[in-house]
Structure 1
Amino acid sequence: MFKTVLLSSISLILSFQSIAQHDFDDLYKSNTSFKDYIESHMDEYDLFNSDSLIDLKIKSDFKVLNRKKDTSKYQKAILEYNFNDTVTIHRKIGIKARGNFRRENCFYPPLKLNFPKKKVKLEMLKRFDKMKMVGNCKSGSIYEQYLLSEYYVYKMLNVLTDSSFRVRLIRVNYYNTGKKRGNAESQRYAFLIEPTKAMADRIGRHIDDTSTFHYGQYPPENRHMITIFGYMIGNTDFSILARHNMKTTMPNEKSNYILPLAIPYDFDYSGIVDPPYAIPADVLPIDDITQRLFRGPCEPFEVYLPTLAKFQSKKTQLYNLINESTLLDKKSKYRMISYLDSFYEIIDDESRVKAAFGVNCK
């Protein structure tokens, strides 16, 4: 939808101007027809409301970026989006490496894209002033499959709850402007993660990074969704209370009840993805990330039943995400489906659920 709307708007541009490249913000500011069209289609400009693949080009000195992996400041870059053979919209942005482990251990660090707010004329685009982009850790088709597997994990959580980060798959042409390597170009898949504030606004909440909450203050449907989802995908690399790979949101409207919601992210350390660099923390009683471990506290079995029922009701949709993918190869599909199979075998058996979730503890 995003591409369709912008393609339609380009015809307005060509009616008065035949320049091959356009800066989106300058065009929005200077041309009334373009501005009116964009503003009349605001609802269709939700970048994360579509699954269609976006092709982008990012120009920068990636040799410097990969060598320094400095997270303190942004490096200059140009982002280009081609609409047809003659028209390209481009934006001046900043990029920097992010992510603790992957920044140090991956040849291609994850990026944060910075769209300077002061230069953005369209108010609704200011929600996307900074955006996380996840790419391959290293070269090769196998690392591409790990990336795509993590992308589909995000999509599975979207199926189960709206209180989750949305993602958008992109195909990036990295154009290296460094002098020593000339103008080398490479193409790899990546995905964008919905900005935190945009996610919170969408569900009618705001981010709370400072308040302290105990586990019982999180609504059962939220805390059980996170811990059971973590168990389903084999993820132990999170903590609700410590906010590790977790954002805490609060309702915008005042209430007599404190209802924080935890929103998880970063799923590459999951057994269902199983990249070679992922190992469980030393303090955990597992030897491999493919071993499931329930990270919730001891609660009676009955309290989990509503959430387990939701996982059952969404089973077909979760399987379809994987089976219908045209991007995952046979090996990745087999790995992910087999992992889901073993999860549903467990939750179909009450005694195995009780044993796995530790509900018999005291």
Structure 2
Amino acid sequence: MTHSLARATVLCLFFSFILIFTASKSLAQEDLFESNEIIDIKMAFSIKDLRSTTNDSTFIDELVWVKSPDGEWEEMPIELRVRGNFRLSNCYYPPLRMKIKKKNREGTMFEENKSIKVVFPCSRSKTAESYLAKEFMAYQLFEEVSEYIFETRMMRVTFINEDKKGDEEVMLGFFLEDDDDVADRFDGEIVDDKRILGTLLEDLPAVRHDFFQMMIGNTDFSGLFKHNSKTLMLPEEKLVPLAYDFDMTGLVNPPYAQVSDLVDIENVTDRLYRGFCREKEVFYTVRDEFLQKEERIFEVVSNYEEYMTSSQYRESVRFLEDFFDILKNDRIFENQIVLACRNY
């Protein structure tokens, strides 16, 4: 009896250890984009130095600290550079690209992410975070209507500004999946070396993309010229669009929003359908899909109410309601979408 009890105790302890070890390992190795929990990140660098010494091919060595579940800051060496166009020139906080060497990301949530885009608020104003939250929300809305998306993860950043004598600022930001990682998820590749007409894209993914862009009031994209849109080639050479960069939209509507000279609207809050023409039944199929997801769309928006002022939240809801009003009215739907599609 004593021997059996001792043996049972040892086995119990052994399996308990295995379970604890497995749980700890799985927590440490959880993929960056598998959770919706906000990550706590700490970064310290000089924005001026980053702007002056980095570019599309030049990185500088920096550190990032990630808060562990037990509240400890864990240090990780990274490489950092600026990226982007408009926000790089017009925002206080430039958009960034972060690279992590394999040996530094092994066993961490970044293990599968060699390269990641980092998005900060544009300015230091009190309302800047709300615009960033609305842009992040737009990515979540896109996930509801398309399977071909860039994954994202919100973070709370403690930024030590070395240009301001080490002042600490706490702000929201988010990580954005790298192009190559998206392609790997779908066993495809990003087509960067060719201009591809929108009519060559798969019908349903393309029209879902175009409806979404109209829903959020986005005209600041071009698949042909690779502006805020990528083309993903799937197996069997099927082509689908990948949308990103949603700040210059009617839904977000930041103070710096501008309308392109190439479109015939005056404000980013003016909707314009920019999709290419397809068979009529494709438009009606996607219309039904969006209408079926209307309730879910507004549930997603409600999840981000805490990051907006009450007036911003009401404006976001109203802006999306206006889009669904278009879908629900046969005549307006025909005029503003079906007959408004592009032939070239």
User: Which of the five TM-score ranges fits, normalised by the shorter chain?
Assistant: 0.7 to 0.9
Residues 197, 306 of structure 1: alpha-carbon distance in 2 compared, 3 angstrom cutoff: same
Report which stretch shifted further, 94-103 or 83-92: 83-92
2:196 aligns with one of 213, 225, 235? 213
Residues 319, 43 of structure 1: alpha-carbon distance in 2 compared, 3 angstrom cutoff: farther
1:263 aligns with one of 216, 220, 242? 242
SS in 2 for 1:213: coil
Q: Does 1:135 align with 2:120?
A: yes
One-letter amino acid of the counterpart of residue 270, structure 2:
Q
1:329 aligns with one of 300, 303, 309? 309
SS in 1 for 2:238: coil
Paired position in structure 1 for 2:46: 61
**Deviation, structure 1 residue 234:** 0.6
Paired position in structure 1 for 2:290: 311
One-letter amino acid of the counterpart of residue 43, structure 2:
I
Paired position in structure 1 for 2:331: 351
Matches within 5 A, 1:173-322: 173-177=158-162, 181-252=164-235, 255=236, 258-322=237-301
Contact 2:154 2:175 in 1 (8 A): yes
Matches within 5 A, 1:152-171: 152-171=137-156
One-letter amino acid of the counterpart of residue 121, structure 2:
N
**Deviation, structure 1 residue 124:** 8.8
Contact 2:229 2:242 in 1 (8 A): yes
**Deviation, structure 1 residue 342:** 0.4
Paired position in structure 2 for 1:148: 133
Instruction: Work out the CA distance in 1 between the residues paired with 2:113 and 2:325.
Output: 41
One-letter amino acid of the counterpart of residue 221, structure 2:
F
Residues 349, 84 of structure 1: alpha-carbon distance in 2 compared, 3 angstrom cutoff: closer
One-letter amino acid of the counterpart of residue 115, structure 2:
K
Instruction: Work out the CA distance in 2 between the residues paired with 1:182 and 1:234.
Output: 40
One-letter amino acid of the counterpart of residue 314, structure 2:
Y
Report which stretch shifted further, 66-75 or 230-239: 66-75
Percent identical: 27
Paired position in structure 1 for 2:7: none
**Alignment gaps of 5+ in structure 2:** 1-17
Matches within 5 A, 1:13-24: none
Instruction: Work out the CA distance in 2 between the residues paired with 1:92 and 1:141.
Output: 31
Report which stretch shifted further, 95-104 or 42-51: 42-51
Q: Which runs of 4+ in 1 moved over 6 A?
A: none
TM-score (norm 2): 0.85
**Deviation, structure 1 residue 158:** 0.6
Matched residues, number: 322
Contact 1:149 1:332 in 2 (8 A): no
1:101 aligns with one of 86, 93, 105? 86
Residues 197, 38 of structure 1: alpha-carbon distance in 2 compared, 3 angstrom cutoff: farther
One-letter amino acid of the counterpart of residue 241, structure 1:
L
**Alignment gaps of 5+ in structure 1:** 1-32
One-letter amino acid of the counterpart of residue 244, structure 2:
Y
Contact 2:215 2:320 in 1 (8 A): yes
Deviations along 1:293-321, one digit per CA (max 9) or x if unpaired, are 11023445332011111111111111011
Q: What do you get for the CA RMSD once the two structures are aligned?
A: 2.6
Residues 209, 43 of structure 1: alpha-carbon distance in 2 compared, 3 angstrom cutoff: farther
Paired position in structure 1 for 2:319: 339
Residues 107, 318 of structure 1: alpha-carbon distance in 2 compared, 3 angstrom cutoff: same
Residues 186, 125 of structure 1: alpha-carbon distance in 2 compared, 3 angstrom cutoff: closer
